[in-house]
Amino acid sequence: MYFDISQLQTYQWVLGIAGGMVIGMAKTGLSGLALFFIPLMAISFGNRESTGIILPMLCIGDIFAVAWYRQHGEIKYIMKLLPSTLCGLGVGVVVGSGLSDEAFGIMLGSIILGLLVLMVWQDASSKVNAYPNAWWFSALAGLLAGFTTMIGNAAGAVMSIYLLSMRLPKNTFIGTSAWFFLIINLIKLPLQIYFWKNISPETLAFDALMIPAIAAGALIGFRITGKIPEKAYRIFIIVMTGASAVMLFF
């Protein structure tokens, strides 16, 4: 891929700045917002090229999120997910180039909606369901998170469902997610540089210029999230996850 920052159009700069703010907001609590901008970035910069631009921006957002919520992360949930997530990353590297955007969207959207229905059923059920703590649930969530984040930076919905199923408090939800994605996205960087070759000094220069926008979005997200009650926040995440899953079909 050849990315020439000097040849970018005005609308691409505007989209990059807006995307940076949305990423910052999503990373500090307003989860799900970033997925609405990923298709627009793909249209503007190209499918494969856009993932190389977005990934460093996500890493920067992860750093801001960890800085604010680092004390709330639960390492035990991350350790449950990591082995299968690494496997999912490997699968994504191997098959990612041969999977069409349409097939990926239909597959991922169907999986997310299915998991979301399972989680809502758990909330509505009066009995205690054992599946959130079952080994296969963590393994499946990790595998899907690794695969979807490698293919299209779209693992936020999978991670949201997993953590919501654990009934984590708001700050623990955000802190655990922040640590998980910082680790995974840093692992992805060399994979995309070496295998997909879509991260270059030019794309990194563009991402560096987006840092103020990401920081501004992170501050907005942090302040808004702090004012949302626990129950309302859970409903917000469920609605955003469902909306992002439906968007994948189009």
| In the predicted structure, residue 43 carries a pLDDT above the cut 80 | no
For residue 181, what is the enclosing H or E element? helix 170-191
Full domain range(s) for residue 29? 9-247
Count structural domains, the chain: 1
More confident residue, 113 or 248: 113
Structure tokens at 158: 């999978």
Torsion of CA 142, 61, 214, 4, to 10 degrees: -70
With vertex at residue 118, the alpha carbon angle to CA 140 and CA 29, rounded to the nearest 5 degrees, is: 75
Global pTM reads 0.86
Confidence of residue 2 (pLDDT cuts 50, 70, 90): low
Residue 76 in domain: yes
Please give the radius of gyration of the chain, using alpha carbons only, rounded to the nearest integer.
Answer: 17
Mean pLDDT value across the chain: 85
For the stretch 61-120, pLDDT in tens is 999 999 999 889 899 999 999 999 999 998 888 876 666 667 766 777 787 777 777 777
For the stretch 125-139, pLDDT in tens is 655 556 777 888 899
| In the predicted structure, residue 163 carries a pLDDT above the cut 80 | yes
Residue 216 in domain: yes
User: What are the CA-CA distances from residue 65 to residues 70, 71, 175, 217 (Å)?
Assistant: 8, 11, 7, 11
Confidence of residue 220 (pLDDT cuts 50, 70, 90): very high
| In the predicted structure, residue 122 carries a pLDDT above the cut 60 | yes
Residue 3 in domain: no
Confidence of residue 1 (pLDDT cuts 50, 70, 90): low
Structure tokens at 234: 């859970």
| Residue closest to 132 by CA, chosen among 184, 191, 80 | 80
Residue 126: CB atoms within 10 Å: 4
How far apart CA 104 and CA 110 sit, in angstroms, is: 10
Residue 214 in domain: yes
Q: How far apart are the first and last CA of the chain?
A: 26
Residue 1 in domain: no
